[in-house]
Amino acid sequence: MTTIPVNPGPVLLADLTELVATLRGDGYSVIAPTVRGDAVVLAEIDTAAQLPYGFGTEVEPGGYRVTPVDDRLAFTHVASPQSWKAYLHPSRERLWSADRDAEGFTITPDESVEPPRAFVGVRPCDLRAIGVLDRVLEGGERYRRRRDNVFIVAVNCTEPGSTCFCVSAGGGPRAESGFDLALTELPDGRLVAETGTPAGAELLRRLRTQAPAADTVDQADRLVESAATRMGRALPEGNLRDVLAATRESAHWDDVASRCLTCGNCTMACPTCFCTTVTDSTDLTGDHAERWQQWDSCFDIDFARIHGDEVRTSAPARYRQWISHKLGTWHDQFGESGCVGCGRCVAWCPVGIDITAEAAKLADEYTQEH
């Protein structure tokens, strides 16, 4: 039996054509960024040609636009509107159905089997987000079943957007762990590939590759290192958990609430928000019932109810809950921040509320008082 080394060293891929074709040949449904309408979205692709070659993105608080670019690179766009959690932790799914019979009701769990998936083009921020979901949801059978069937091809970030702040969130533009393969796209379209697991090494062994020149590997490293210095935004330095705990009565919450629509877009776009609610329904005969699970948002007034009444009735209370949990008390629950700095909540907030700016104002207030 031949042992395949996990990390035989970087190799060079001419392009992604053979990689995508081989994954599909191995039975994977390949999920990757592609252009649909006016956005770069995540969807199943049949060939590498469906990747967003020739398209970039421009983002700003409350703004997102796909733009044509001169180069023929696949990964010059920023984080897609939806994240990979849509495939690991679906926005809506049936948990079980029940049908009346002679004995009462027969309950049938929904145990539909989904195809193995290959995620191609996972940014390091989203890779961290998948790690967060793993730690939070790994005890769930449905989540674990989906997660165990995923092959991850990460792509190191070389073109951060103006809403990106992964470095200040504790991450960076380089994928460090949690991937099967990691790629760095060079300006001429070739890709430096590294393996993270035996499965990644085995796949790479079957592709046509070249040994890269030392200066080619250096070039790839420099592109990633440069990206780390070009983040569009940054969270304030210091202990944000203490800042948020100490500023619970700040007047700034009213200022944020005067702009916040409490629409919940930030929680839907966030790659780590995982809250759900369940809904039961029956048909008109009462012979058939179903239970569905769907994403929920802490911006919904019904999200937190105790003894039949809402707990957070005001917009300031709901925004404070979201950011305090994301940047503060998440550490108490899960030992890390709930924010990976992808910038989706900034770009997809319809009024452009910027989590880094709001945290900075609260940090300034905290500094002045301590």
DSSP per-residue string spanning 244-276: HHHTTT-THHHHHHHH-----HHHHH-SS---E
* pLDDT single digits (tens) 253-273: 999 999 999 999 999 999 999
Alpha-carbon span 73 to 187, nearest angstrom: 7
pLDDT of residue 2: 53
What's the pLDDT at 80? Answer: 86
CA distances from 251 to 234, 254, 264, 327 (A): 23, 6, 22, 19
Q: What is the pLDDT of residue 303?
A: 86
Angle at 188 between CA 184 and CA 191, to 5 degrees: 25
Task: Please check the confidence at residue 1 and state whether its pLDDT lies above 60.
Answer: no
Average pLDDT, the chain: 93
Residue 242 pLDDT greater than 90, yes or no: yes
Residue 304 pLDDT exceeds 90: no
Other beta carbons within 10 angstroms of residue 40's beta carbon come to: 24
Residue 45 confidence (pLDDT) above 90 = yes
- Residue 271 to residue 254: CA distance in whole angstroms: 27
User: What value does the mean pLDDT take over residues 99-121?
Assistant: 92
pLDDT confidence of residue 6: 62
Residues 6 or more apart whose Cβ sits within 8 Å of residue 259: 351, 353
DSSP H or E segment with residue 155: strand 150-155
What are the tens digits of pLDDT across the range 13-23?
999 999 999 99
pTM for the model stands at 0.93
Digit-coded pLDDT (tens) for 312-341 = 888 899 999 999 999 999 999 988 899 999
- 59 vs 40: CA distance, rounded Å: 12
